[in-house]
Structure 1
Amino acid sequence: MTDRPAANRLPFILPGFGMGTAPLGGLFEAVSDQEAAATLKTAAEAGITYFDTAPRYGHGLAEERLGRLLAPSAGTDPVISTKTGWLLRPRPDGSPGEVITDWTERGIRESLEASLIRLGRSSVDILYLHDPDDYPDEIRRTAYPAVRKLRDEGLIRAVGFGMNHSGPLASYVAEFEVDVVLIAGRFSLLDHEALTTLLPLCAKTGTAVVVGGVFNTGLLADPSPGAMFNYRPAPAEALERARQCRALCDAYAVPLPAAAIQFPLLHAAVNSVVLGCRSAAEVTANAAAARFPIPDELWQRLARAGFVPEQLLDERTG
């Protein structure tokens, strides 16, 4: 997977493949410090230079580990994105406590300042407003103006929105000047929701697009009984569809994860795909899948079966 220097608002090029750090914060199961260190070391060795994190990932643990355990690179500095809109409130004993929303300028600044301390950085490349689905008035009045100020001050290089639903995200892109969006789970082999409004709008506005959740919480990595689909146990219909998709990939000797990872980049508006990794083995497997050659015939077969929108292949060949 190569970097895609598509025309957009960003003052830098987003690597085509990045690593999400929610697993390093203990998403679904705990990860030891040693495992986290090995994961980040392997990512650096694999040439991964984009890392996405957030205060809510393990109540600051993912950010702290990324800042402490990611070894300095001898080449280009990595691209780092984090998120804001939620404040961490520890208990008196110092253990993780509650997470509260705060879209005020003071709250946005406090969140970023704490993130920078955990990351050991003076600035980050992207600051996403994190899951602001239900807060359009607060975003309009205080949060968006606040992140614009942070960009003007050089504390961040790009303003973004990160969400799990493409409709509200498209509304924000239409209303504001947004440098980049992170859409999770809504543009995959099993879910084409983002194609209808968000991606065409981003192409028009020059908003860069990062796609996460390409495995839909695991189902497209391994469609076995007990697999998760969008953070819940996979229903029978989704499990069957994933198995059908895997069978088509098997017929071309292509691993299902390879098709799942590379699918979003069929759309010209998509700049990068980020994958959460909890181990060195996952980093190695995902990096290999991102580079695995996929024949055009397989994309065409997946399109006939409804896993790939036909228009993507028409645009690709046109």
Structure 2
Amino acid sequence: MSSSVKPVGLGFGLLGTTNTAPIPDAQAERMMAAAWELGIRRFDTAPLYGGGLSEERLGRLLRGLPRDEYALSTKVGRYRDYAAAVTNPKDNPGDWRDYSRDATLRSVEASLERLGVDRLDIAFVHDCDTHIGAALKGALPALAELKSQGLVGAIGCGSNVAATHLALLRAAEPDVLMVAGRFTLLDQSAADELFPLCLSRGVEVELAAPFNSGILATGPDDATTRFDYQAPDEATRARVRAIQSVCAAQGIPLKRAALHYSAAHPAVTRLVLGLTDPAGLQSNLADLAAPLPATLWPALAELGIPAPTGES
């Protein structure tokens, strides 16, 4: 069983990560050069990542690259101080949210300056999970204004919560959604309502975090692995161990199965992967290009994991 290889984008959160030392400039330059050489032309960041540090550093990496040849996105609504220390990536002390019109317009202006570009291909409202009303009243209409002015090409939402995307999709007209970690071997919460509605409305889906922060790439027994930004509990480790066992019996690495699963749903138009070293990126692309046995999805269905194509 082979699957059509869907496009891949890269997220540049690691350029702003401040709970560990951010990757050095020379390493970032090697990563970007490898990504460009491998044909990747879709790049994502946010003012949250390092409080603007990721945007600033990504802007330096983009200098000299032909602007019409890549698609660039950033986000609005969720912020932290520049280079602030991170103790909790999900809810870091000192972070703040502002989904108002004025804050959104200021945010995009600042992002354009840090990135060194005159327009964004996509602007996402970032993690408005408990602020949906504010996003619908402030941030999304402001982004629509910028879209009408040509400063933004497409607008949407980026969130780890399927219900957030569903609420915005029912109340507004986004062009694209960045759905993080909600259609994976561990979590299919986007499948029942969100993805069918996206297909019927013609809304693109970029599926980020297919490894659920790492555990579906490293496996369950890596001491440093994460599930949705946190150390996994034993139940999650046991679940991944069972999935890994099925994959091994099928002759498939866990990482390959995870990538194919997230890419296989017809609503998903692109995978967005985290920044990794050139060898890791090549490995991920090779996994996506490799065929799968036709018996893999039925074998995983024995664990209660539905076929990613929506077929029984």
Q: TM-score, normalised by structure 2?
A: 0.88
The residue number in structure 2 matching 1:50 is 42
The residue number in structure 2 matching 1:12 is none
Deviations 1:147-180 (A, max 9, x none): 1001000011101101111012101101101101
In structure 1, what is the Cα distance between the partners aligned to 2:309 and 2:116?
44
The residue number in structure 2 matching 1:293 is 291
Residue identity in the other structure for 2:71 = V
Task: Name the % identity.
Answer: 35
Unaligned runs of 5+ in 2: 86-93
What is the Cα deviation at residue 126 of structure 1? Answer: 0.5
What is the Cα deviation at residue 69 of structure 1? Answer: 1.4
**Are the counterparts in 2 of residues 166 and 194 from structure 1 also a CA contact under 8 Å?**
yes
CA gap of 1:300–1:263, structure 2 versus 1, over 3 A, is same
Aligned pair partner of 1:119 in 108, 115, 125: 115
In structure 2, what is the Cα distance between the partners aligned to 1:176 and 1:29?
38
What is the Cα deviation at residue 28 of structure 1? Answer: 5.0
DSSP-derived class of the 1:257 partner = helix
The answer to whether the aligner puts 1:19 opposite 2:10 as a matched pair is yes
Deviations 1:29-83 (A, max 9, x none): 3211111111111111111111111111122122122211146456961111110
The residue number in structure 2 matching 1:191 is 187
The residue number in structure 1 matching 2:69 is 77
In structure 2, what is the Cα distance between the partners aligned to 1:66 and 1:184?
21
The worse-fitting range, judged by mean Cα deviation, of 121-130 and 106-115 is 106-115
In structure 2, what is the Cα distance between the partners aligned to 1:133 and 1:20?
20
Residue identity in the other structure for 2:131 = Y
The residue number in structure 2 matching 1:132 is 128
The residue number in structure 1 matching 2:147 is 151
Report matched runs for 1:95-244 at 5 Å.
96=84, 99-223=95-219, 224-226=221-223, 227-244=225-242
In structure 1, what is the Cα distance between the partners aligned to 2:244 and 2:276?
23
Q: What is the total number of aligned residue pairs between the two structures?
A: 299
In structure 1, what is the Cα distance between the partners aligned to 2:284 and 2:213?
14
DSSP-derived class of the 1:167 partner = helix
What is the Cα deviation at residue 27 of structure 1? Answer: 6.0
In structure 2, what is the Cα distance between the partners aligned to 1:2 and 1:148?
33
Residue identity in the other structure for 1:248 = V
CA gap of 1:3–1:126, structure 2 versus 1, over 3 A, is farther
The residue number in structure 2 matching 1:7 is none
CA RMSD of aligned residues (A): 2.2
What is the Cα deviation at residue 303 of structure 1? Answer: 2.4
**Are the counterparts in 2 of residues 25 and 57 from structure 1 also a CA contact under 8 Å?**
yes
Q: TM-score, normalised by structure 1?
A: 0.87
CA gap of 1:196–1:69, structure 2 versus 1, over 3 A, is same
Unaligned runs of 5+ in 1: 5-15
Deviations 1:179-206 (A, max 9, x none): 0111111110011111122111111211
DSSP-derived class of the 2:213 partner = coil
